Chain A
Amino acid sequence: MINRTLPPKSSGTVSFEIPQAKIITLSNGIEVYFVKKDKLPIVYTYTLSFSGSKFDPADKKGLSFLTSLLIDEGAGEFDALQLNNELEKLGIIFGIDVDHDVFSFSILSLKEHYHRAIELLSKIIFEPRFEQKDFEREKKKVLDKITQLKDEPGYIASSAFYKRIFLNAEYSSPEIGYEEMVQNFSNDDVKFFYSKLFQESLSKIIVVGNIEETELTDLYEKYFSKWNGKNAGLNQTIQINRDRTKFYYVHKKEAAQSEIRIGHISKGRNADDFYASRIMNTILGGQFSSRINLNLREKKGFTYGAGSSFNYFQQCGFFEVSTAVNIKNTGEAISEILKELDGIKKNISQEEIDFAKSYLIKQFPSRFETYVQTAKNFVPLIIHLLPVDYYNSYTDKLKNVTNEEVLNAAKENIFTDQLAVVIVGDKKEILPQLKTISDDVIELDIYGHRI
């Protein structure tokens, strides 16, 4: 008979070599982060430029997003459909994305089609057509997408929450923009964004794949030497202003659940206590076995899942607790979350810290499993100006955090009296519950503006 009562021990140790990126500097100064990975005949490329949606003019929120939809609608000798056909017929997975900080292009390609993929990418980046008929169609698509988002309670909760914590600073507006602004965009606005903001911004390239360094260098020299942008984005930290704790709700008639977001603006990525905060948040709400999830899901059954995170934009960070709960437990769920935020500032056990460190350290190799994952690990290093060999000391830095530093990370980064609490749900159901927590409950529209 075997003894099943105790967990088997691990057998020996696993060695793992962290993939090293080499920076290749092109003749025009553009840096290419290159990791050679040759198990499969695949090359993945991520190209970013510091021209995300925070660079949208104040009265033209959504301009970078619309530009991102239009930039691949025809380029060089190809019209919109021809250009996409060139990529589609080679089985290339091509994507364009805009977030607050950066505008980016990703390409997953078989090695045999990689040269063609980069040639086409260079056409998209340097020779977009921006034709009027494409502009009209894509602008209408954005407006209709904004209409559709009014149906998404999770989206409404997040965008109202960002509006409350960032107020009028960068990062307060949704990347997609506002209906009344997008309506007034002209094709010249898009061309302006492209020539003044996109083209003049600094670009960085990450390549992970089955390709030789010389081949890669020649390829990028050939197609990317035209890029001379130097603007590396706004690096100054946003002034952190936190209001006293306030309760907000957005009315969604007949909602089947309540979406909840709780949090505030917080320190940036390069703060001294980043690792301590990471460990602390792992315990608080960063994974399944965290305090918040075990309480709200496994103990109370209020939700399918609940979690917390520290998120880092280029110029500041924010802390957020996020969940969707049963309507009748909305008030109680909020009270439990607030209790957990208080609790973590008072006491964190040795066992919890050991667990969190083990989890973060041992899962580290799995973050380099795919070509895409490996490449994406270098994005935060670029955005936050961290060194290319940063990950070599990553697990040591986690190990070296003391218990006291973990507890201090809670005390110094979670402000229970300066929270924005945002709920999206049916006001008939949730208002009576919110009133038992606070007598000052403020109604917002779906954009997070006070009504």
Chain B
Amino acid sequence: MNKNLLKIDYEKFQLSNGLDVILYQDLSLPTISINIWYKVGSANEKPGKTGFAHLFEHMMFQGSQNIPKEGHFKYIQEAGGSLNGSTSIDRTNYYETVPSNYLELILWLESDRMGFLLPSLTQEKLDNQKEVVMNERRQRYDNQPYGLAWEKIFSNLFTSDHPYSWPTIGWMDDIANFELDDVKNFFSTYYSPGNATLVLGGNFKKDNAKQLIEKYFGTIKNGSQIPQLYIPEQNLNETKKIIHPDNVQLQRIYLAWHSEKMFGVNDAALDILSDILAATKNSRLQKKLLFDNQIAQDVSAFQYSAKLHGLFIIVSTAKPGMQVEELKKNIFYEIDNLIKNGITDEELLRSKNSIKSSYIYSLQKIDNIVDHINHYNFYLNEPDSFIFDIERYEKVTAEDVMEAAKNYLTNHYVELQIIPKN
């Protein structure tokens, strides 16, 4: 595989108001993609007022001073583009991909809501989107089998004063009680040019793009200092077991450990560990639980890493009539076995090859590429990190994987069982 494919040729600069801009040109495309990361996620919220960052993923589409309600969607769709946003615990992003002759339109739209959202943010719009968000919460979590698992894990693994302890969508009571003034203050604090990075990718002329970005964003005033996060030390002093009866047919078990933060020392080894444990039919746990013993309907494992912390999670659904305790016993047997006896070269190679291929596959879409550039810029302060990222997986040895398992998976953990109500 030729690694030059993964070399990103970019130009980075900052406007006088603090907005970081990264240009990535690809003249072979008929499109351009803009991707703005605001360095605000649910971690910047306060207990009792959770869900604000995600709420803005809605309010930012409700129009701004020069754009009518629903206008953002309408202009982009009429241009044949696609658009959306997403919220994580660390950051929020907003993005559009349009035919390349609409560069000025997307800059106009994004700059208007960065600089001039508040004049048009009314009580009526807030009330409407509160209802929409409550329905989103019902549709995606409350009315889904096992839908409340994630918030139960996070709120038990982290102490209630830790910024990762609540769900990104927010608690239902908090959403119902959003106040207009709080919402406006949250926006003023976090949605300023100095707290954002704009990545433009695709087919554009660099000089023209620079001029237009300065024209639309240069006059937006920067905000004040971003408040520091309060991050209490996290140590799980005992293993916690939570049993949650729900409207489900089959028992499911979740095991969650504190692990390593994004790009931390063992982050890549933990990713590979999760592959070896459960990613494929030949993985340890799929083979043991699904194939040999046939006691589980599914099993998965993953390393979820973010700016402050990481979690390593194993999830498995029991076959009818099977107790999750039996699954747990088998899972720990396999973890112990891996720590004692290590992994094979073939297991390591299988995981590395699949990670490498998926990087190449991800280069098919310009909106993926620009989002990745923002991702690297945010976590590593270096947009061109595709090769660095792949190489940190290439460097992982069998010993590293064993060590990672030993260092994290022998610690206290949160065990969540979701069991049928009746």
A interface residues with partner B (beta carbon < 8 Å): 1-2, 4-5, 7-16, 39-42, 80-81, 84-85, 88-93, 108-110, 112, 137, 140-141, 144-145, 147-148, 150-153, 253-257, 287-289, 294, 297-304, 324-326, 355, 358-359, 361-366, 369-372
Contacts and interface: CB of A to CB of B under 8 A. Distances in A.
A41 B1 CA distance: 9
Given A81-B287, A304-B132, A304-B139, A4 B99 contact: no
B353 A90 contact: yes
Interface stretch (B79-87, B173-181, B373-381): B79-87
Interface of B: 1-2, 5, 28, 30-31, 65-66, 69-70, 73-75, 77-82, 97, 99-105, 107-108, 111-112, 116, 127-132, 134-136, 138-140, 142-145, 215-216, 219, 247-250, 280-282, 287, 291, 294, 297, 317, 319-320, 346, 349-350, 353-358, 360-361, 363-366
B110 to A, nearest CB: 12
Contact of A325 (B135, B248, B317, B363): B135
Contact of A304 (B130, B135, B144, B349): B135
A255 B346 CA distance: 47
Contacts of A304: 132, 135-136, 139-140
A14 B287 CA distance: 51
Given A298-B69, A324-B135, A365-B99, 11 more contacts: A88-B350, A254-B247, A256-B142, A287-B77, A289-B73, A294-B70, A304-B139, A359-B77, A364-B80, A369-B365, A372-B364
Contact of B247 (A12, A151, A297): A151
Closest 5 CB pairs of A and B: A362-B80, A301-B131, A91-B357, A8-B104, A151-B145
B219 A2 contact: yes
Contacts of A359: 77-78, 80
B105 A10 contact: yes
Contact of A289 (B70, B140, B142, B216): B70
B280 to A, nearest CB: 5
A93 B361 contact: yes
A89 B74 CA distance: 45
Contacts of A90: 353, 357
B99 A14 contact: yes
B347 to A, nearest CB: 9
Given A4-B108, A370-B364, A144 B143 contact: no
B101 A2 contact: no
Contacts of B104: 8-11
Nearest to A253: B247
Contact of A110 (B81, B128, B360): B360
Contacts of B357: 90-93, 109-110
B65 A4 contact: yes
Given A81-B281, A297-B132, A148 B78 contact: no
Most chain B C-beta atoms within 10 Å of own C-beta, residue among A5, A13, A150, A289: A289
A281 to B, nearest CB: 14
Given A8-B104, A289-B77, A369 B364 contact: yes
13 contacts: A2-B215, A7-B105, A10-B99, A40-B360, A42-B360, A144-B319, A145-B297, A151-B249, A257-B138, A297-B132, A358-B78, A359-B77, A362-B80
A326 B134 contact: yes
Given A148-B297, A324-B135, A298 B70 contact: yes
Contact of B282 (A42, A85, A109, A298): A85
A179 to B, nearest CB: 12
Contacts of A369: 31, 364-366
Nearest to B127: A301
B249 A85 contact: no
A287 to B, nearest CB: 6
A255 B147 CA distance: 13
A240 B313 CA distance: 50
A370 B365 contact: yes
Contact of A4 (B1, B112, B354, B363): B112
Contacts of B144: 152
Contacts of A325: 135
A362 B31 CA distance: 11
Most chain B C-beta atoms within 10 Å of own C-beta, residue among A5, A42, A93, A256: A256
Nearest to A324: B139
Contact of B249 (A147, A153, A257, A324): A147
A42 B364 contact: yes
A92 B354 CA distance: 7
Contacts of B5: 40-41
Contacts of A91: 353-358
Contact of A89 (B100, B139, B346): B346
Given A15-B30, A256-B143, A298 B135 contact: no
Contact of B128 (A93, A301, A371): A301
B291 to A, nearest CB: 7
A255 B31 contact: no
A10 B143 contact: no
Contacts of A14: 30, 99-101
Nearest to A85: B282
Most chain B C-beta atoms within 10 Å of own C-beta, residue among A108, A151, A326, A364: A151
Contact of B138 (A41, A80, A298, A326): A326
Contact of B131 (A11, A253, A326): A326
A303 B136 CA distance: 7
Nearest to B357: A91
Contacts of B74: 289, 355
A129 to B, nearest CB: 15
A255 B108 contact: no
Contacts of A147: 249-250, 320
A303 B30 CA distance: 35
A304 B100 CA distance: 31
Contacts of B138: 256-257, 324, 326
B101 A13 contact: yes
A326 B136 CA distance: 10
Contacts of A301: 127-132, 135
Nearest to B130: A301
A236 to B, nearest CB: 37
Contacts of B127: 301
Contacts of B143: 153, 255-257, 324
A63 B59 CA distance: 48
Contacts of A112: 1
A11 B250 contact: no
Contacts of A361: 80
Contacts of A145: 297
Contacts of B103: 11
A332 to B, nearest CB: 13
A10 B102 contact: yes
A41 B4 CA distance: 12
B82 A366 contact: yes
Contacts of A81: 281-282, 287, 291
B27 to A, nearest CB: 12
Contacts of B364: 40, 42, 369-372
Most chain B C-beta atoms within 10 Å of own C-beta, residue among A12, A41, A80, A89: A89
A130 to B, nearest CB: 17
Contacts of A255: 143
A292 B282 CA distance: 46
Given A2-B219, A4-B116, A14-B30, A150 B249 contact: yes
